Amino acid sequence: MTIIAPSIPGTAPGAQSAARAPLRIVPFDAPVGAEVLGLDLNQPLADDDFARIHRAHLDYHVLVFRDQRITPEQHIAFSRRFGPLQIHVLHQFQLPGYPELLIVSNIRENGQPIGLGDAGHFWHSDLSYKDKPSLGSLLHAQELPSEGGDTLFANMHLAWDTLPAHLQKAVEGRKAEHTYLAKYAELQKRNPWRPDLTAEQIAEVKPVVHPIVRTHPETGRKALFVSEHFTTHIVGLPEDESRELLAALFAHSVRDEHIYRHHWAEHDLVFWDNRSLMHLAAGTPDHLRRKMYRTTIEGDAPF
């Protein structure tokens, strides 16, 4: 059964007093995730608190910061403390004046989408189609629907650890191709507003090859690194064998016991590790508005 972590008492929007308690990390009763308490990102972040957040991110893979009423500049500045930021290929959906921020939204204004409305339709790890995939992503809630809009996270370390031995043997040492274009045409059929890519944009997302089992560069833990959204085939295998093996990996990765489901609250900031996880948008009813801002931090070449 997918686990939804409850809110910690006293952390609902507006519940904090002016003086916050010392920073605390409270793990969820879930396969991944923890809440960071006692932090206001409007205030300068001390080096020792940053170090604790960094460590918690490695330990729990998803961090939830409640009621963060921050500006785009503060969102970007906090993200940059973890590394250089990556610019999404769909430049059409940048927040004006802030190319580091991707608008994730189903809202249309004057008949046109203001953001990427179908982001996360398939399980994926952000920017796995780049030579240096994303270290992590930070998604900040701007406008939330009254129902729907949840985000699911799958622990890919657990997926590897619990993978049957014959499948571990079949994939260890092998590589797979990732491409942004893998399901782009399918998404365009579902959502005609999704823009055609220019030649320059296509050149930004040339296919890349990564290990199926990657080693986390900071913890040394192994994780599966394939997704239904961006992984097209396993290098060196016949098409039917590749397709069958990838299907088995996808199905195993998203077993309920590997998943945390995040139910968003106003001004949540959620920071996840793309080296350890996949994620999925559960969907929002078309008549309800949802708007989020996302940064992505550049990572390392997988090994």
- Just list the catalytic residues: 124, 126, 279, 294
CA–CA distance, 115 with 118 (Å, rounded to integer): 9
The tokens of 244 are what?
């069958």
**Tokens of residue 110, six digits:** 């004057």
The DSSP secondary structure of 239-256, one letter per residue, reads HHHHHHHHHHHHHHHT-G
CB 61 within 8 A of CB 273: yes
At which residue do the structure tokens 């990564």 appear?
210
- How far is it, in rounded angstroms, from Cα 34 to Cα 61? 8
- For the chain, give the number of residues: 303
Supply φ then ψ for residue 148, to 5 degrees: 75, -170
Cα 20 from Cα 40, distance rounded (Å): 8
Q: Which residues pair with 292 in a beta bridge?
A: 104, 141
- Please name the residues in contact with 154: beta carbons below 8 A apart, sequence gap of 6 or more: 123, 253, 254, 258, 259, 277, 278, 279, 280
